[in-house]
Amino acid sequence: MNEDTKKALETKFGDRVQETNKNIYSSQYIIKSHELIEQGYKVYLLAQGTNVPYKGSLGHLNATDDVYELIDMFNKYGADSNIAITLRDSKLAVLDIDRHTPDKNGLQTLK
């Protein structure tokens, strides 16, 4: 092989690796979870499109602020997993306000 052939092969391999990385890190859930960790929150994963932890997981007990551990979770469950933060030790409170029907408006009741 001459030098030109080697460079062409390396370029093709490099393009494939770069394309794969784009797909992995382009998930809005992965990006947002990293932002939440940077803000000091512990994050855990929920089944895609739900607010339920994955079967076999420990839910909020799996919450982590370790980016590498989180990446392992995304690799295990999928890049489109929903994300949640644990409220334990976060100094946050959550109000779940529902609007089931026009007659049952939790926001109006709260006001």
Number of domains in the chain: 1
- Single pTM value for the model: 0.65
Classify residue 1: in a domain, yes or no: no
66 within a domain of the structure (yes/no) = yes
Token look-up 């394309």 returns 19
Cβ-based neighbour number of residue 27 at 10 Å: 15
Q: HSE on the CB side for 92, CA within 13 Å?
A: 11
Position 21 scores a pLDDT of 43
Both tokens of 20, joined, read 């794969």
- As a whole number of angstroms, the distance between CA 91 and CA 99 comes to 26
Q: Report residue 107 as tokens.
A: 């926001």
Domain that holds residue 102: 28-110
55 located within any domain: yes
Helix (H), strand (E) at residue 101: strand 99-101
pLDDT of residue 22: 44
- Burial class of residue 62 in the structure, from the number of CB atoms within 10 Å of its CB (0-12 exposed, 13-18 middle, 19+ buried): middle
DSSP 79: T
Which pLDDT score is estimated for 26?
A: 53
61 located within any domain: yes
**Each residue's pLDDT expressed in tens, for the chain with a length of 111 residues:** 455 544 444 444 444 444 444 444 457 888 899 999 999 999 999 999 899 999 999 999 999 999 999 999 999 998 889 999 999 888 888 888 888 787 888 888 888
Closest CA to 89 of 65, 69, 109, 110: 65
Residue 99 placed within a domain? yes
21 part of a folded domain? no
Asked if residue 15 is part of any domain, the answer here is no
Instruction: Enumerate the β-bridge partners of residue 105.
Output: 99
